[in-house]
């Protein structure tokens, strides 16, 4: 998710697959992972936006688009029944659109952050 928050309190966007959308409604505590390390970013309000337009999809790097297609192919519940090349073609042509969710930081729980750091 190239537009996801990368630091505490930052707003951003995520592109979750349709089959995990029920897991991220409302408010969530967001953690980001980089290089095997995880950091707490805060409490985020999650709201659905319009799907990425074809132009927005095409502005993503080729690596990100290929990674997303491979990620969808690897999901156990891949109901598309397609390989990553075909999934990529469907997105590149605009036949499928990427679901998009806005993440808005509404609170940073310093106590939780301190407890997580102490437990690490």
Q: What are the pLDDT digits (tens) for 79-103?
A: 666 788 888 999 999 998 988 999 9
The yes-or-no verdict on residue 77 having pLDDT over 60 is no
Q: Are 105 and 80 contained in the same domain?
A: no
Q: Do residues 5 and 12 lie in contact, with contact meaning Cβ atoms separated by under 8 Å? A: yes
Q: What is the pLDDT of residue 21?
A: 66
The yes-or-no verdict on residue 44 having pLDDT over 90 is yes
User: What is the biggest distance separating any 2 CA atoms in the chain, rounded to whole angstroms?
Assistant: 48
Q: What are phi and psi of 50, to 5 degrees?
A: -65, 150
Q: Are 106 and 91 contained in the same domain?
A: no
Q: What is the pLDDT of residue 7?
A: 84
Q: Are 45 and 73 contained in the same domain?
A: no
With tokens 């690897």, the residue in question is: 74
Q: Are 12 and 42 contained in the same domain?
A: yes
**How much is the mean pLDDT over the chain?**
86
Q: Are 47 and 22 contained in the same domain?
A: yes
Instruction: Give me the domain span that covers residue 40.
Output: 1-51+99-113
How many domains is the chain built from?
Answer: 2
pTM (2 d.p.)? 0.77
Please report whether residue 118 resides in a domain: no
Q: Are 29 and 66 contained in the same domain?
A: no
Q: Are 19 and 58 contained in the same domain?
A: no
Cα 59 to Cα 2, 39, 51, 67, 91: the distances in Å are 11, 28, 14, 14, 12
Q: What is the pLDDT of residue 65?
A: 93
Q: Are 66 and 47 contained in the same domain?
A: no
Q: Are 104 and 46 contained in the same domain?
A: yes
**And the tokens for 65?**
């688009």
User: Which is nearest to 101 in space by CA: 38, 45, 42?
Assistant: 45
Q: Are 59 and 25 contained in the same domain?
A: no
Please report whether residue 119 resides in a domain: no
Q: Are 92 and 107 contained in the same domain?
A: no
């Amino acid at each position: 998710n190239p537009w996801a928050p990368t630091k505490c309190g930052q707003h951003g966007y995520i592109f979750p697959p349709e089959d995990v959308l029920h897991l991220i409604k409302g408010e969530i505590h967001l953690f980001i992972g980089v290089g095997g390390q995880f950091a707490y970013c805060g409490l985020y309000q999650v709201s659905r936006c319009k799907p990425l337009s074809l132009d927005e999809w095409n502005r993503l790097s080729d690596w990100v688009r290929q990674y997303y297609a491979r990620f969808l192919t690897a999901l156990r519940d891949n109901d598309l029944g397609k390989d990553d090349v075909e999934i990529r073609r469907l997105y590149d042509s605009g036949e499928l659109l990427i679901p998009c969710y806005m993440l808005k930081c509404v609170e940073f729980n310093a106590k939780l952050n301190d407890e997580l750091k102490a437990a690490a």
